[in-house]
A and B are shown apart, each in its own frame.
Chain A
Amino acid sequence: MATKFEPRILSFLCNWCSYAGADLAGVSRFQYPPNIRVIRTMCSGRVDPVFILGAFLSGFDAVLVLGCHLGDCHYLNGNYHAEKKMHLTQRLLGIAGVNPHRLHLDWVSAAEGMRFAQIVTNFTTQVRELGPLGREESLIQCLKAAKAAVQQEKVRWLVGKELDLIEKGNIFGEKITPSKWETLLNAIIEGEYKKMRITLQLEETPRSVKEIADFSKLSPLEVSSHLTDLEEAGQVRLHSIADRTPKYVRAR
């Protein structure tokens, strides 16, 4: 019989509420599975999506981010921003072919030791059921693309502005409805993700549109459209034309 799968889970805890809640679970001796490894940050708002994707890339099966309850943030609204950031990351995970439930965001106050233990217990069980994330090269490529996507200016700007644009509106006072926002954001992150998929393949070897399309499972049409954008942005350049087939490479 194979040994039972024990997931490796990375957890980010904010100093004021969830880390204190985890300490309280300890003081109260509430027992929970020993699968999580904790990184303390001052606020859940400090958790950059880059860290989450980095964690998956380094071999964690799941990531748990805990902050103060909404409204109780020690820094007023850091956790609202954390919510937006994690939401974005979950969507990107979905696009990259990773079950978004491998990233869980929740709230634990400094007085909720029991709740902390329960969340960790439940999440561990859930990830155990999901099974190992896997280390196939194709998955690594997808995660790398996702990580690169959340480092893109456009994505970061949009997520940073999300609360403002939905609640206060833009400089003309126009508010964006959440559903419209959803559509917009989805389109952008998908586009950025695909661009990153392409760019990553051109890191070392010059490739043609067809080669890229085969490799990244995108249509040749999509690939050439993104390549045009990437060329314009100076991220990709034409490398050579061999046998009437242009080959592209990452611009340095």
Chain B
Amino acid sequence: MNKDKIGSVMVVGGGIGGIQAALDLAESGYHVYLVEKSPALGGVMAQLDKTFPTNDCSICILSPKLVECGRHLNIELLTYSDILDVDGEPGNFKVKIRKRARYVNELLCTGCGICQEKCPWKTDSEFDASLAKRKAIYVPYLQAVPNIPVIDKELCAYFQKGKCRACEKFCPSHAIDFEQVDQFIDIDVGAIVLAPGFDEFDPKPMFNYGYSRYPNVITSIQFERILSASGPYQGELLRPSDKKLPQKIAWIQCVGSRDVGCDREYCSTVCCTYAIKEAIVAKEHSSAPLDEAIFFMDMRTQGKDFDKFYNRAKEEGIRFVRSKVYRVEEVDGTGNLAIKYVTEDSKIASEEFNLVVLSVGLQPSQEVVDLARRMGLQLNKYGFCSTSPFSPVETSKPGIFVCGAFSGPKDIPETVMQASGAATKSAAFLAPARKTLIKEKVYPPERGVSSEEPRIGVFICHCGINIGGVVNVPEVKEYARTLPNVVFAGENLYTCSQDTQEIIKQMIEEHHLNRIVVASCTPRTHEPLFQETIREAGLNRYLFEMANIRDQCSWVHRDHPEEATQKAKDLVKMVVAKASLIQPLGELAVGVIDKGLIIGGGIAGMTAALELADQGFECFLIERGKELGGNLRRLYYTLEGIDTQEFLQKTLRKVEQSELIRIYTGTEIKEISGYIGNFTTTIKINGRAEEEVLQHGVIVVATGGEEYKPSEYLYGRHNQVLTQQELERKIATGDLKGGEVNSVVMIQCVGSRTEERPYCSKVCCSQAIKNALKIKELNPSCNIYILYKDMRTYGFREEFYTQARSQGILFIRYDDENKPEVTCENGRLRVNILDPILDEKLVIDSDLVALSAAIIPSENGELARMLKVPLNEDGFFLEAHVKLRPVDFATDGIFVCGLAHSPKPIDESISQAIAAAGRAAIPLSKGYVSVEPIVSKVSAEKCIGCGLCESLCAFNAIRLKMTPSGNKAENIPASCKGCGLCAASCPQQAITMCHFTDEELMAEVNALAVV
């Protein structure tokens, strides 16, 4: 059976989820077909201006991934294509695809854009959410991959009326082909990953908000486009009706979410945080002070560091109005809008704004729902793909996996985690067929440049208006031309786009360039992309330098265009001076020990271990405690009512029975050394005298977290004050008799969202509702009061919140100024709380008080130090990038998952653990890692063997070695991290750092010398 499995995977959907899944699979040894129904990859993320909570530029972080997908040898793009049918069986599916006619020959088109310029026919641009126009022949957006236009047959005059053909006439490469027809292709794949994303809710039918009647009522995605520098107003904050700067903007939350009226009971999870982001970013775009208000019910900023973002918005003066908006009306003749709403204390109010943004919810697209039905997948009542909390990336059919918003509304990092998770599951499912269908990348041979004089090409980026709006790019270009060794200088709208990569290669060829300088954004994100491009053009990757004229110039000197232009020139001059000296460096490959180390034996750690084992890799599972299981041992049922103990037992059995997992309980980690591919970990098992040494290639950190032991609300002083975990145990073990409790008070955010711990613990709202509903089962007449700050039952958890209210559970909101008070009167608990709806003090006598206590991180400091990875302010591990690298650390070969990363429910811990294991499996399956050749180099001639470098190096990467001419220092490239401390310290100045040599750095210093 196994031998029949096919080593290729179809990924459906070209948004960030599909892109991540495709890249992970292609890197793990599978051939990938990436199918996207629109003409280009990118999905919704490409439309966003910024991403929360760091306000990273969305297209800037997405663009390198788009390009990587577009150029990956083992990813075959099928854009503008739909899946018609899926046949066959798991491991051997037959997929019927319709590849729509673009009427443009993909092989001939160079993406020059002339056809779009010449085409006379216009319609609303889908990408700009109808705020701008596009032509009948169009590329959806500037950075689109592939950068090949399509002809919109419905609009094209030739197709409709038989004449025009302007595009054909002007196309310099004769790529227009009106004869093209749709192609029908059958593709065999072993597994399918569904990443079709979501549609935004269309607010037209909600008449009361006035969308489509009033031009200044727009959706959140339209507002993203307005904010975007490449959007309809070039990033200027204007409102659609009169293109004037709005001074007052309102956001209305939960449009198409949490609304039984429009059949969408669920919470769309991301809208609260994106509204905050839009409000903060809008302030940055506005020259005048902005008055902004967000009309909301509960502020659901439950993700990692989101509450800090919420607090920042409040500090910046953004108003948060807890309310329900019932109507939006245009104020005659002004284009302004009056928002009519009911306040929390049931008063009717109205306020006028210049612009209203509807925070629209997420829903699956109808086409995808139809496809999923044809595939026979189980969907929930809203059409989202059904998954279990314990197998969050598996559909109801084996061999078909799901990630992203199709299985429920979620943000980018959750989507990326699930995408890596779905890729992991597919990789494990097809493990016997790994590497059977892949092609190896063949680069052209490297051109020898050592005998050539430097010939530098400089590419200066406008970055839309990000740079060009401040820095005079043409002037910088002209200046660059005059610099020594520069033989070519050009300017690009987006230097990172696919078409510019082709231009760079072309220029290298044409001008016989042997050093490339890009002046654009930061090398921290974009250097690898450009290095890959020049390598493809036959240049060594290290013949490349970048000048940061955006992040460190145009963005920070917005009001000083002349000085910024001068600075950009100087930065280019410095880098060109360095580039004249840089040398090609040989890349090194280091073997990988194909074993993993997993730290932490909770559900995240066990899941990661099982996933690695499923892919065929041995792993060591280290648990400090006496037994595996972690927090799962203290949970008995999920919100949906599934037995967690049964799941725990099943998981434990699998882990114990696995031949590839070596379990170490009661074990402490003493020391970790090494680097990706070659780690050495010393462990100490309780009760054993000797320490043991383990060798492995990767590390997964899953050290978990724990429930906070409160000091508040009489906890520990009254035996009827319990934490939610303690209450859950009492309920599950039958300790809590229904008849004994007639009044229960639950207090939320105990130890969370406080000054000491400003983060949200994410699970407690659902946990409280889960336990409250269980108590109601035991005693339907029990009065239950849940005292909360914001009910954060995001996603489909909202249904249980609705159910709880319908069963008579009372929810009373409190804020920091009016916290509840718990007292004990003659042994009986009494809770005092101010009810904001009644505006009255309530006194509740209670049989039991349950505290929804925070999730706090484990003691991670020592481990973080050993691993040399960072923790955030709250003590959780800090990942490499909050959006796009949610399970990686900046240090290669080390990954994170579960509560060690941030508080999260079981399903998210499991997704993340699967993702971490999958990411860890990539180097294991490759069998080698490439080592950056930025290492130190010793001149044996100058070295006198003093040994200072050896004593300074923190990584034992340089040592003295006896040679015929005495002791000489010697570098160990695989251990060298490239800091350059040895070079800066050597008494003989005998050591230098490749790519950061003394000469190169001094050339930068001296480039601006005053003569």
Contacts and interface: CB of A to CB of B under 8 A. Distances in A.
Interface string A103-123: 000000000000001000000
Contacts, number: 159
Interface string B977-996: 11111011111110001001
A151 B989 contact: yes
Contact of A59 (B556, B574, B870, B1010): B1010
Contact of A31 (B552, B556, B996, B1008): B556
A29 B558 contact: yes
B556 A58 contact: no
Contacts of A58: 1005-1006, 1008-1010
Nearest to A156: B987
Interface in A33-56: 34, 37-43, 45-48, 50-51, 54-55
B555 A27 contact: yes
Interface string A167-188: 0000000000000000000000
Contacts of A117: 556
B556 A51 contact: no
A189 B31 CA distance: 63
Interface of A: 8, 10, 15-16, 19-20, 22-23, 25-32, 34, 37-43, 45-48, 50-51, 54-55, 58-60, 72, 74-78, 81, 85, 117, 135, 151, 153-154, 156-157, 159-161, 164
Given A23-B522, A75-B954, A8 B998 contact: no
Contact of B979 (A45, A154, A161): A45
B63 to A, nearest CB: 15
Given A34-B557, A164-B951, A59 B980 contact: no
Contacts of A78: 954, 979, 981
A54 B983 contact: no
A43 B979 contact: yes
A48 B951 CA distance: 18
Contact of A81 (B557, B934, B952): B952
B187 interface: no
Which among B284, B566, B948 has the greatest number of chain A C-beta atoms within 10 A?
A: B948
B560 interface: yes
A160 to B, nearest CB: 4
Given A34-B564, A75-B954, A75-B979, A26 B550 contact: yes
B980 A42 contact: yes
Contacts of B571: 37-38
A10 B573 CA distance: 14
Contact of A55 (B563, B955, B981, B1005): B1005
B558 A31 contact: yes
Contacts of B934: 42
B567 A157 contact: no
Interface of B: 54-57, 284, 522-524, 548, 550-553, 555-560, 563-564, 566-567, 570-571, 574, 868, 870, 890, 934, 946, 948, 951-952, 954-955, 977-981, 983-989, 993, 996, 998, 1001-1002, 1004-1006, 1008-1010
A72 B1005 contact: no
Contacts of A151: 989
Given A22-B551, A55-B1005, A117-B556, A47 B524 contact: no
Contact of A34 (B560, B574, B954, B988): B560
B1005 A51 contact: yes
Nearest to B55: A27
Contacts of A38: 548, 552, 571
A16 B56 contact: no
B556 A30 contact: yes
B979 A26 contact: no
B890 A16 contact: yes
Contacts of B987: 153-154, 156-157, 160
A7 to B, nearest CB: 12
Contacts of A8: 1008
A182 to B, nearest CB: 20
A116 to B, nearest CB: 9
A18 to B, nearest CB: 11
B956 to A, nearest CB: 11
A161 B524 CA distance: 32
Given A15-B524, A39-B574, A42-B934, A72 B556 contact: no
Nearest to A17: B870
Contact of B1005 (A10, A34, A40, A46): A10
A29 B284 contact: yes
Contact of B1010 (A48, A72, A135): A135
A109 B415 CA distance: 28
Given A27-B55, A34-B553, A74-B977, 15 more contacts: A19-B522, A23-B522, A25-B552, A25-B556, A38-B571, A39-B1004, A42-B978, A42-B979, A42-B980, A59-B1008, A75-B954, A76-B954, A153-B987, A156-B985, A157-B946
B519 to A, nearest CB: 13
A70 to B, nearest CB: 14
A81 B1008 CA distance: 27
B315 to A, nearest CB: 12
A46 B996 contact: yes
Nearest to A15: B524
A50 B1010 contact: no
B55 A41 contact: no
A46 B980 contact: yes
A54 B1005 contact: yes
B1009 A31 contact: no
Contacts of B985: 45, 81, 85, 156, 159-160
Nearest to A43: B979
A175 to B, nearest CB: 16
A180 to B, nearest CB: 21
A119 B611 CA distance: 47
Contact of A161 (B551, B559, B948): B948
Which among B557, B570, B951, B979 has the greatest number of chain A C-beta atoms within 10 A?
A: B979
B556 A45 contact: no
A24 to B, nearest CB: 8
Contacts of B574: 37, 39
A16 B284 CA distance: 26
A37 B1001 CA distance: 13
A23 B548 contact: yes
Contacts of B1008: 8, 10, 37, 58-60
Nearest to A23: B551
A32 B567 CA distance: 13
B996 A42 contact: yes
Contacts of A51: 1001-1002, 1005
